Structure 1
Amino acid sequence: MSKREAKKPLNRHPLAVAISLIPMSFVAIGAAPAMAQDPANNSTLLPGLTVTADWLGAPTKESEKTYTGARTVVEKDQLQNSGALNLEDALRPVAGITVLDETGTGILPNIGVRGLNPLRSERLQLLVDGYPIAIGPYSNVGVSLFPVTLPSLEVVDIVRGGASVHYGPNNVGGVVNMVTKPIPAETSQTLRERITIAEETGNVFTDTYYRVGGRATDNLDLQLQANVQRGDGFRDHSDTQVDNLILDARYYLNDQHELASQLQYYRVEADLPGALSPEAYKEDRTQSQRPYDGYEADMTRATFTWTYTPSDNVEFQWRNFVHDADRTFFFGQNFSNGGHWADPADESTLVADSPRLFTVYSTEPRLAIKHGRHDITVGARFVSEDVEFDVNRLTLATNERNVARDWHLDTRAMAFYLSDTVSFLDDRLTVTPGIRYEDVAMDFRDNLNDQTEENNAEEWLPGLTVGLQASDDLFVFANSQRSLVPVQIAQTTREGEVANETAWNHELGARLQVTPDLLSSATLFRIDYEDQIQFNRANSRYENLGETRHQGIELSNRFYLNNAVELGLGYTLLDTEQLSGDNEGNELPNAPRHKVSADAVYNYQAWDARVNWVYVSSSYSDADNTEQETDNGSAGKLPHYHLVNARVGRDFAMGSGNVLNLGLAVNNLLDEDYYFRGVDVSPVGRVPQPGRSFVLEAQLDF
């Protein structure tokens, strides 16, 4: 069966046209017309702004120190030079983060925060340059299409608390803003090649990246990025092809008006190895028992921002985005044996495809005003989603094809938000009360059965953040905010009691410059969840777990031993509990109690060496807290694991300011054997995590 038989694709250009709304220095949101140049990376930087419409501020290590919530800024060198296989692997050491690697190629990330469900990263507000990338920001928050590749990123800003008023909905676990590479002030180019070789199978995955950008005219900056990935992950049946093209443009009308835009085309086609039965896993964890599983998607995105800065105390932004997305999973099924339809030990009798077509548009004006001791931010956002959601089945024995599902969903959402940062004690104390109002209307239609449903959500989401610079070396913060996750399209159409999810997120923390060379931080957190929804893979139903609680502490330390050596150590203690329902008193799934991370960085002249270690304790894979693994691997305790990555690299001067960097990395140096339970179209069995692999890298900046 041709993969495109499922649904005719939308008419799209085979290549990507693109224009980046905001370079890193613009933090994807606020901008000022006056700029400076950073000689270290030839990129455009902003001077200090008196006011900006971007609540988070610049994604730098310095701004991280005084943010009124738990925040981690992962900079370019950490992303590119850590020996990570992909973006989710690069984020694994961050406090509170849980990563379940489904493919090893980064096309379908599973990232969780503080014990919230990591599957399809559905408990995070994922942004690129400040814009949401979920194919349905309200109706389909799970990231079943991830139009991001690691080489195109400059920095990743991870905010685990204190941002829900300004960035809603679906931010119970926080906000992750992935900032693409900035347009350089002077014309420059980058050519990068990366080859990953899996030790167990010899599979090869190549990653080719090219960037060119600079000033086209006195008023216009342009940049093109192209990323092509080809090859296989570490398992059988994992052939992957990715194309990601981005065109950035920024136009300065005058000192007060700036226009910025991004156009992107992203395409992926991949075979999915899926989960293994426990017996097959023990026999050979690199094999695949899901020969019909596959994935195909493409997305065309466009963003446009007008920034008007009449004075240092006023900034107005009008932000707009639209995307047209088409994604399809292909998967084998067997309903004839009395067991689970996705049991990997059973041969498939049917092949299903589940195409989803999304057309999404959003417009959002924001105004930031500084008046005396007040920094006021006010904004509104409208989002429109049009979704086609089908499932088709092909009977292998007869080659008969039928339509199993034909759904349509229209979503209209309006949000209004207001916050006021009030400064006291010579600006050492800031108090920010804020409130967000969400009004979401979803109209669902089942075309096969001629049924309609409606789901409406109206919620007031208040928040309060406090920050105190208690001394030159000590910053203390506290925040409390409420968040909303509307009922999802997949939830409303299955049996089981589901509801709009709301949660309170609380934090109390401090950052202390213990010595000039040692920075330490500690954050106490608690999430009080109402009506938390989880998917039960054993019976293919969504379950309302009712009230749940997530609490714990995150500790981190950064020590600069000297100019050449840098050390890091972090620890996360997580305590989760289901507070109501049949599983009252149980822990939440995929919520390891302990996580320890450590890293060492050594720089000497042109050499750079890094070692990263992460330990994650065992956890349960289901709400029932099943200890003994079931025969088909659908439930059972997940093993603890240690993961070590190492990389060494060297810069070579090529003349005329050109630099060539060569690197060698080993991912999963100890060849740790660990797994998690199935996900999405292969929900039953063990999903092996990547074994040891070798990464060869070369990057030329010229």
Structure 2
Amino acid sequence: MAAQTAVDAEQNANNNAAPNNVNNAANTANSSAANDETASAQQTTQDRYIEKMQIIGRSQALNKASGSATLINELALERFKFDDINRVLYSIPGVNIREEDGYGLRPNIGFRGATPERSKKINIMEDGVLIGPAPYSAASAYYFPMTNKMTAIEVFKGPAGIKYGPNTVAGSLNMVTRQVPQVSEGFIDVATGSDGYAKAHGYYGTTINNLGILVEGVHLRAEGFKDLDGGGDTGFEKSDIMTKLRYDLDGEFVDQVFELKLAYAKETSNETYLGLTDEDFSANPNRRYVSSQLDNMDWTHSQFQFNHYISNDDFEVITRVYRNNFDRAWYKINGFKGGAVNRSLQDVLANPNADETNQRFYHILTGEQDSVEEYEKLILGNNDRSYYSQGIQSDLNLNLAFFGFTNQVEAGVRFHQDQIERNHTTDSYVMQNAALVSTGADTLATTTDREKTDAISVYLKDTISIDALDITAGVRGEFIDAKYQNRAAGAQGDYLDKSTRIWLPSLSLFYSLSDHGGLLFGVHEGFLPTSPKQNPLIDTESSVNYEFGGRYNQDDFNIEVIGFFNDISNLKEGCQFSSCGSDNDIEFNGGEVDLYGVELTSDYRFVLNDDIDLPIALSYTYTQSEFKTSFESGFDMWGNVSAGDQLPYLPNHQVSLTFGLTAQTWDINMAIRFVDEMLEASGDGVVLSGVTTKALTVVDMSASYDFDQYGLVYVKADNIFDNQQIVSRRPYGARPSKPQQWQLGYQYRF
């Protein structure tokens, strides 16, 4: 996939809706002159409105924005038709990912070395609104929107991220859903593939006079690529339906757009945290032990968003009101009951032959032996959680002239509330005849608490243009009031109330060397709040982040090179089930850390003849990290750290190369990605100390043929050479990358 850097955004200005533009043009050409005039007027307002749904501006040939900005438009998303956000983001420099389930159901995404664990250190947004279940109270993103319904994916790193919070240590990911079309159009996409894969995706939208409507639905399912001992489904089903209503109101002095978005999504997946021993992985990387036969995630998500956009030649204001509800229950194996003998699942699977006790525990997990002793009973937990996230935010763009200088002012304010309620329980089972059998004991409540946050955020940015130099100064304020309440019986006194007040400055410079290239420099303060339940002695994460680089674009050639240095004065990490196999949600401080590296992205389109083009895109990331102090930690991913140790799950080198052959009726694309080896733990004294994942090279391909009015047929293969490696040994044992998967699909537009 050719990720487009912000420098070549102008030539892609119309691609946010491509390939719909072909149908739009044909339909408009057949309409009456009166309808043409109305559509043209609406398009002007709607184009401006669409751009406000995105971070990256696309109005200039040479993008002078501070920070590294990358846009993947709908045309690029269509090339590979990925369902997995991980596969989309691999083409963007500076993105570090820890894969988990192979389908991207619960991604782990970081930017510029920030921990990828549950994407908790980046701002995840949909249509400019925070979309995580509880971004302040419980940042771990156990919900992630469906990639299929997105028409643009944006990644923004560096000083311009000061506009988006609460997390400014790394950057922001914004996903843009389909806009209401100006004329009647529809789309159907159906596919089938290996491992029981099936997809059904469609939308229809139209605008009559000033009122527009869009309905879009996606359903995905797969039987899964893992083989459960004794048989069983290891796949998933997920669905998403979205409706938008838009009303355009063009006035004499201002133009306005009113839009309502309603969405509902559901997933049921037979997913587990239980992996394999390294020996079993070598024999069959897709095996699943029988002890995970009851593991299942079940969630629902509902979304409400109302947007009001008002503009004229001098200013633009967009106001968003939003509410997201997320309810989930993940029933899964937690470990052995313990007592007389305690062994974690991570220790058993990392060292199955360490002693007779580990061997027996291993054989119980695999169903080769029955549970006999009390401590050999298996505990399955239901992590039942309810979240909401709601608020109102307003953003202003204003062009002013002071003392002969042009000022582009951006300002915004947001009032946000979110909450998580945990109602975790556990049940006791024994392994008998290679099956889990309930002991009949009562279900026990484990974690019963509530975390809630009220936050007011403000930001102000001003870009001053002085000849070839653009100077952008900005500041963000976060004013956070957080509450924690242990709701368990007899624990009413277990209550915490704390506040955080902070101002985060930024400064960036862009110097235009010509109409096609320039240099950039930026510095901004990074911040990451603690969750409401954390002890006030745990400090927020803070850093000073620098970048320097340049970008150049001319005709069909684009290149951007940026070096970055993150001077972290206080690193913060936390234990979740995905990392430590525990639901205690304890956070740890790691002191000073240096993170630095280089990001390169470039693309070029070779014109082979009048009919065939050869687009090529390259993305490369070099990242290095270093703890500056030595300390002892109770965090499973750190252990006892010595100064100079590197961070876990951070590859030194990542490369993505995409290329294709494109003609009028057919299209062939290939993507090659390389991810270097990664440490499983930083220091000494923990189970995975000194253990690494192996470097992994994966090749994906897609091909399509357009039968014009009869639709388009496509075939695609993920991991065409079926190369599998261990992508992580967390929380319990070795986890595989996705094996080879084929798909055959058909698309029809009308």
TM-score band by shorter chain is: 0.7 to 0.9
Structure 2 vs 1, CA of residues 625 and 596 (structure 1 numbering), >3 Å: closer, same or farther? farther
The one-letter amino acid of 2:707's match is F
Q: CA deviation at 1:39?
A: 4.1
Q: CA deviation at 1:539?
A: 8.3
The one-letter amino acid of 2:198's match is T
Out of 564, 567, 574, the position equivalent to 1:525 is 564
Cα contact 1:51–1:375 (8 A) shared by 2: no
Matched residues in 1 for 2:296 and 2:742: separation?
26
Cα contact 1:163–1:175 (8 A) shared by 2: no
Q: Which residue of 2 aligns with 1:137?
A: 135
The one-letter amino acid of 2:453's match is T
Matched residues in 1 for 2:19 and 2:680: separation?
49
Q: CA deviation at 1:85?
A: 4.9
Out of 122, 125, 129, the position equivalent to 1:124 is 122
Structure 2 vs 1, CA of residues 64 and 673 (structure 1 numbering), >3 Å: closer, same or farther? farther
Cα contact 2:23–2:185 (8 A) shared by 1: no
Q: CA deviation at 1:547?
A: 1.7
Long gaps (5+) in structure 1: 1-26, 28-34, 198-202
Q: CA deviation at 1:441?
A: 1.1
Matched residues in 2 for 1:49 and 1:691: separation?
41
Matched residues in 2 for 1:443 and 1:635: separation?
39
Matched residues in 1 for 2:19 and 2:96: separation?
37
TM-score w.r.t. length of structure 2:
0.81
Deviations 1:507-533 (A, max 9, x none): 1111123x6443222101112223222
- Secondary structure of 2:169's aligned partner: coil
Deviations 1:52-106 (A, max 9, x none): 9959655659678433221211122322322645222122121122233322333
The one-letter amino acid of 1:452's match is Y
Q: Which residue of 2 aligns with 1:315?
A: 316
Out of 596, 607, 629, the position equivalent to 1:580 is 629
Deviations 1:327-378 (A, max 9, x none): 2221212131411156564536111111111122111123322111112222
Q: Which residue of 2 aligns with 1:463?
A: 506
- Secondary structure of 2:250's aligned partner: coil
Q: Are 2:421 and 1:388 aligned?
A: yes
Out of 72, 79, 82, the position equivalent to 1:81 is 79
Deviations 1:292-314 (A, max 9, x none): 322111111111111222x3112
The one-letter amino acid of 2:139's match is V
- Secondary structure of 1:116's aligned partner: coil
Matched residues in 2 for 1:543 and 1:437: separation?
24
Cα contact 1:158–1:174 (8 A) shared by 2: yes
Q: Are 2:526 and 1:487 aligned?
A: no
Structure 2 vs 1, CA of residues 671 and 305 (structure 1 numbering), >3 Å: closer, same or farther? same
CA RMSD of aligned residues (A): 2.9
- Secondary structure of 1:164's aligned partner: helix
Q: Which residue of 2 aligns with 1:567?
A: 616
**In terms of mean alpha carbon deviation, does 329-338 or 59-68 score higher?**
59-68
Deviations 1:374-431 (A, max 9, x none): 1222221111123211211112223321111110122111112111111111xx4221
Cα contact 2:54–2:176 (8 A) shared by 1: no
Out of 686, 689, 696, the position equivalent to 2:737 is 689
Runs of at least 4 residues of structure 1 off by over 6 A?
35-38, 47-53, 61-64
**In terms of mean alpha carbon deviation, does 231-240 or 411-420 score higher?**
231-240
Matched residues in 1 for 2:565 and 2:54: separation?
21
Deviations 1:108-153 (A, max 9, x none): 112222222112111211111111111112112221011x222211
Q: How many pairs align?
A: 645
Q: Which residue of 2 aligns with 1:649?
A: 704
Cα contact 1:340–1:538 (8 A) shared by 2: no
Matched residues in 1 for 2:580 and 2:325: separation?
33
Deviations 1:623-678 (A, max 9, x none): 2178xx95xx6871111011111111111112xxxx51111111112211212224
TM-score w.r.t. length of structure 1:
0.86
Q: Which residue of 1 aligns with 2:294?
A: 292
Q: Which residue of 1 aligns with 2:37?
A: none
Structure 2 vs 1, CA of residues 556 and 254 (structure 1 numbering), >3 Å: closer, same or farther? closer
Matched residues in 2 for 1:220 and 1:120: separation?
39
Q: Which residue of 2 aligns with 1:20?
A: none
Matched residues in 1 for 2:280 and 2:191: separation?
31
Deviations 1:252-280 (A, max 9, x none): 23332221121110111111143222232
Deviations 1:483-525 (A, max 9, x none): 3221135x728xx963222222221111123x64432221011
Q: CA deviation at 1:36?
A: 14
Q: Which residue of 1 aligns with 2:671?
A: 612
Q: Are 2:595 and 1:544 aligned?
A: no
Structure 2 vs 1, CA of residues 322 and 643 (structure 1 numbering), >3 Å: closer, same or farther? same
Cα contact 1:210–1:226 (8 A) shared by 2: yes
- Secondary structure of 2:280's aligned partner: helix
- Secondary structure of 2:87's aligned partner: helix
Matched residues in 2 for 1:321 and 1:85: separation?
26
Structure 2 vs 1, CA of residues 208 and 70 (structure 1 numbering), >3 Å: closer, same or farther? same
Q: Are 2:117 and 1:115 aligned?
A: no
Structure 2 vs 1, CA of residues 415 and 219 (structure 1 numbering), >3 Å: closer, same or farther? same
Cα contact 1:635–1:677 (8 A) shared by 2: no
Q: Are 2:389 and 1:360 aligned?
A: yes
Matched residues in 1 for 2:345 and 2:515: separation?
61
Q: Are 2:652 and 1:593 aligned?
A: yes
Q: Are 2:255 and 1:212 aligned?
A: no
Q: Which residue of 2 aligns with 1:666?
A: 717
Deviations 1:191-224 (A, max 9, x none): 0012231xxxxx2121110100010x31111100
Structure 2 vs 1, CA of residues 538 and 384 (structure 1 numbering), >3 Å: closer, same or farther? closer
Out of 681, 687, 694, the position equivalent to 1:622 is 681
Deviations 1:443-467 (A, max 9, x none): 1011222201123211111111222
Cα contact 2:56–2:69 (8 A) shared by 1: no
- Secondary structure of 2:649's aligned partner: coil
Q: Are 2:453 and 1:408 aligned?
A: no
Q: Are 2:420 and 1:421 aligned?
A: no
Q: Flag the structure with higher helix content.
A: 2
Deviations 1:141-180 (A, max 9, x none): 221011x222211111111222232111114221111111
**In terms of mean alpha carbon deviation, does 253-262 or 50-59 score higher?**
50-59
The one-letter amino acid of 1:280's match is D
Out of 359, 374, 380, the position equivalent to 2:407 is 374
Instruction: State how 1:158-173 maps to structure 2 within 5 Å.
Output: 158-173=155-170
Q: Which residue of 2 aligns with 1:327?
A: 328
Q: Are 2:224 and 1:185 aligned?
A: no
The one-letter amino acid of 2:674's match is Y
**In terms of mean alpha carbon deviation, does 72-81 or 319-328 score higher?**
72-81
Matched residues in 2 for 1:139 and 1:64: separation?
39
Matched residues in 2 for 1:384 and 1:497: separation?
24
Q: Are 2:606 and 1:555 aligned?
A: no
Cα contact 2:552–2:559 (8 A) shared by 1: yes
Instruction: State how 1:14-163 maps to structure 2 within 5 Å.
Output: 39-40=21-22, 42=24, 46=44, 54=52, 58=56, 65-82=63-80, 84-146=82-144, 148-163=145-160
Cα contact 1:418–1:435 (8 A) shared by 2: yes
Cα contact 1:36–1:45 (8 A) shared by 2: no
Matched residues in 1 for 2:484 and 2:305: separation?
28
Q: CA deviation at 1:228?
A: 1.0
Q: CA deviation at 1:553?
A: 0.6
Cα contact 2:271–2:296 (8 A) shared by 1: yes
The one-letter amino acid of 1:596's match is V
Matched residues in 2 for 1:130 and 1:386: separation?
20
Structure 2 vs 1, CA of residues 233 and 328 (structure 1 numbering), >3 Å: closer, same or farther? same
Matched residues in 1 for 2:555 and 2:396: separation?
38
The one-letter amino acid of 1:609's match is I
Matched residues in 1 for 2:57 and 2:671: separation?
22
Compare CA radii of gyration and give the structure with the larger one: 2
